[in-house]
Amino acid sequence: MTIQPNRPSVGQLQPSLIRQLANGALGRDDVLPLWFGEPDVPTAHFIRDVAKASLDNGNTFYQANAGHPLLRTALKDYMNCLYATDFVEDNIIITTSGMAAVALATQCVVAEGDHIVTHSPTWPNLPSTPQIMGADLTCVPLRPKDGYWHLDIEELLAACTSKTRALLINSPSNPTGWMLNDAEQQHILDFCRAHDIWLIADEVYSRIVYDRPHAPSFADKITDDDKVLIVNSFSKTWAMTGWRLGWLTIPKSMVTTFEMLVEYNFACVFAPIQLAGVVAVNEGESFVQESVARYKVALDFVTDQLEDLPRVSFPKPRAAFYAFFGVDGVDDSFAFAQEILAKTGVGLAPGIAFGTDGEGYLRLCFASDVERLEQAFDRLKPMLT
């Protein structure tokens, strides 16, 4: 007997197509996995060492809901340094991943039947979480324009109705590498203020940017009166994907609400992980810059490769570490990704995994040494030619 969940929205969730594809490669040792959004190196030793020392010190007890005071301080200083803001500790809530930050923000913002507007193609987790909470979603498509991905902001705002309670924005975007500029952010924020609409801004790729030190952020445009929740994570910036450490930037009057949401979802984050986060933030700046420089080399290599292939169209990413490219003649990206995997052993994510607006595309994570990408393209080229 197959048991169905009682909550209808959970019954309607779709399993990840990337995971489904990857499961088909279990047991194969010749696969070059470029499907997940994960750097190819383990977390730096100076970060791991702090977690080990914290374990030695017996830091195995419950922690404060809002997060370890040292980490909240480190993060408000980090934000204030990056954005010239004046956040205090109560603007910062530590979460067990960026994903958990999205989940808590959604629980705060989405009531049953609320209308939410977002853009696509998008990381599938972003629409799924509001869907669990009962949201009715509209996705406004990103489109290629002048060699980059583009979102028509007027089209985004026109999708809002009187039932719209929140905008869900992921800039820089996974999978496209699209990025809002400051004027567009200000325009969106003004609209949200005028119409009393919440804004959940997923900025986890804010530091993986190729032409400036950080992506434009809503952080330096908001006040403590704005209904804006900014999601961030240690995963991408400090190559800490597995650690499950993220944070929310919130209006400080909401700190008690978020302490309760943390308590009633996972209660707190392991102290050794949080203390590792402190050293990542305080001493990780050169690591971040070296990583971005390495990803830039990889991006340049991938761009050269893809631009050589006449069947491929590749709107360039301004940020993040994905090449999201279309292949002429492909109208079933899942089947095509399966075929690529079977014939070449290269693991790519099918565009359809990011919504119907991603159909015909493939996502390749280039957070990798060029040697590995060379191998991948040697195998891929016959399939893309």
Segment 61-100, which members bind a copy of itself (CB under 8 A)? 61-63, 65, 96-97, 99-100
Please identify, among the stretches 110-118, 210-218, 322-330, 340-348, the one whose residues bind a copy of itself according to the rule CB under 8 A: 110-118
* 205-224 residues near a copy of itself, rule: CB under 8 A: 224
Site string for a copy of itself, 166-205 (x = CB under 8 A): x-------------------------------x-------
Q: Which stretch binds a copy of itself (CB under 8 A): 50-58, 79-87, 150-158, 320-328?
A: 50-58
Closest to a copy of itself by CB, 38 vs 77, is 38
d(CA 166, CA 108): 11
Please, which residue, 257 or 303, has the CB nearer to a copy of itself?
257
Instruction: Give 103 or 364: the residue with its C-beta nearer to a copy of itself.
Output: 103
Binding residue count for a copy of itself, defined by CB under 8 A: 81
Stretch that binds a copy of itself, among 149-157, 233-241, 314-322, 340-348 (CB under 8 A): 233-241
Contact between 313 and a copy of itself (CB under 8 A)? Answer: no
Check residue 163 for interaction with a copy of itself (CB under 8 A).
no
326-385 binders of a copy of itself (CB under 8 A): none
Site for a copy of itself in 117-146 (CB under 8 A): 125, 128-129, 132-134
Which residue, 3 or 194, is less far from a copy of itself as judged by CB? Answer: 3
Q: What is the 3-state secondary structure (H, E, C) of the chain?
A: CCCCCCCHHHHCCCCCHHHHHHHCCCCCCCCEECCCCCCCCCCCHHHHHHHHHHHHCCCCCCCCCCCCHHHHHHHHHHHHHHHCCCCCHHHEEEECCHHHHHHHHHHHHCCCCCEEEEEECCCCHHHHHHHHCCCEEEEEECEEECCEEECCHHHHHHCCCCCEEEEEEECCCCCCCCCCCHHHHHHHHHHHHHHCCEEEEECCCCCCECCCCCCCCHHHCCCCCCCEEEEEECCCCCCCHHHCCEEEECCHHHHHHHHHHHHCCCCCCCHHHHHHHHHHHHHCHHHHHHHHHHHHHHHHHHHHHHHCCCCEECCECCECCEEEEEECCCCCHHHHHHHHHHHHCEECEEHHHHCHHHCCEEEEECCCCHHHHHHHHHHHHHHHC
Place of tokens 């209006």: 251
CB of 308 to a copy of itself, least distance (A): 31
Question: Which residue, 138 or 313, is less far from a copy of itself as judged by CB?
Answer: 138
CB of 171 to a copy of itself, least distance (A): 21
- Closest distance between a copy of itself and the C-beta of residue 12, in Å? 10
Give the nearer residue to a copy of itself in terms of CB position, either 106 or 333.
106
Task: Decide whether 19 or 143 has the Cβ nearer to a copy of itself.
Answer: 19
CB of 90 to a copy of itself, least distance (A): 12
How are beta strands 164-170 and 136-141 bridged, if at all? unpaired
Q: Which residue lies nearer to a copy of itself by CB, 13 or 335?
A: 13
Beta bridge partners of 116: 137, 166
Q: Which is nearer to a copy of itself, 30 or 225 (CB)?
A: 225
Interaction residues for a copy of itself, span 248-307 (CB under 8 A): 251, 253-254, 256-257, 259-261, 263-273
Give me the least distance between CB of 241 and a copy of itself, in Å please. Answer: 5
Can you state the angle between helices 370-384 and 333-344, rounded to 10 degrees? 110
Q: How many CB atoms lie within 10 A of CB 31?
A: 17
Scanning 58-66, 208-216, 278-286, 334-342 for contacts with a copy of itself by CB under 8 A, the matching segment is 58-66
341 phi and psi angles, rounded to 5 deg: -60, -45
